[in-house]
Amino acid sequence: MAKLTVAEIKRQIAALESKAAQIAEQESKAAVAKVRSLMDSLGVTIEHLTAVVSKRSTSAKRAPGKKATPAKRAGAGVVRYRNPETGATWTGFGRAPAWIASAANREDFAVSKATGRASTKKAATAKTDEQPVTEVKAAAKKGASAVKRAAKKTKAAASAPAKKKLSAKSAPRKAVAKRTKAAAAAPAKKKASAKTAPRKAAAKKAEAAQTSEQATSSVEAN
């Protein structure tokens, strides 16, 4: 396939855009014709549509705005007290709820203190919940260790016959090798003994002659 130049690509783009515009115009005309046919079948005119659109725009312009809300007292919407048991709150304005109305000291229900008590209670609950999880993990770890030990023993038991069999096979070979080595070393030992025998005999003869001479010298001296 021949490479296209930039000019050719631009011409193709222009041709496609022109074709797309023609197709869009044809589709628009078809849609308008369909709408006109529907309006004719229903007896609707352009004036009807214009009146509806104008009425909606006028209603939107005349829509009443939001009523101004009266100014609230300072701190009226701020939560100052909270029931740590139920989570109910009170801003401190208006009629006091039953859970704080009979309290000797309302500051015990202050948001900061209630939050602290709730956090402590939550931490204690979390610690209590963690204990069974820790126990389960420890049990699982212990069980895993037991399984590993059992697997190790099973593997050792399975490999023991193979080791014994291998030892039984290698025992005759070791015995033969030991005998062969001893047989090979025997001639060398005999040869060494044969070489040292004359020397030992000569040494004994010399020692005997020296002893005899010493005895003779001792007799003559006496």
Which pLDDT tens digit goes with each residue over 178-204? 777 777 776 666 666 666 777 777 788
3-state SS of the chain is CCCCCHHHHHHHHHHHHHHHHHHHHHHHHHHHHHHHHHHHHHCCCHHHHHHHHHHHHHHHHHCCCCCCCCCCCCCCCCCCEECCCCCCEECCCCCCCHHHHCCCCHHHHEHHHHHHHHHHHHHHHHHHHHHHHHHHHHHHHHHHHHHHHHHHHHHHHHHHHHHHHHHHHHHHHHHHHHHHHHHHHHHHHHHHHHHHHHHHHHHHHHHHHHHHHHHHHHHHHC
Q: What is the pLDDT of residue 68?
A: 46
Q: What is the mean pLDDT of the chain?
A: 75
Q: What is the pLDDT of residue 11?
A: 93
What is the mean predicted confidence (pLDDT) over 117-143?
60
Please tell me the least confidently modeled range out of 78-82, 112-116, 136-140.
112-116
CB 80 within 8 A of CB 110: yes
Contacts of 18 (CB under 8 A, 6+ apart): none
Q: Residue 67 and residue 110: Cα distance in Å, rounded?
A: 35
Q: What is the pLDDT of residue 140?
A: 67
Amino acid at position 101, single letter = A
In terms of pTM, does the model score above 0.85?
no
Q: What is the pLDDT of residue 22?
A: 94
Q: Residue 129 and residue 63: Cα distance in Å, rounded?
A: 58
Which pLDDT tens digit goes with each residue over 14-66? 999 999 999 999 999 999 999 989 888 888 888 888 888 787 777 666 655 55
Q: What is the pLDDT of residue 18?
A: 93
Contacts of 115 (CB under 8 A, 6+ apart): 82
Closest CA to 89 of 74, 109, 106: 109
More confident residue, 79 or 171: 79
**Whether pLDDT at 71 is above 90:** no
Closest CA to 13 of 4, 25, 26: 4
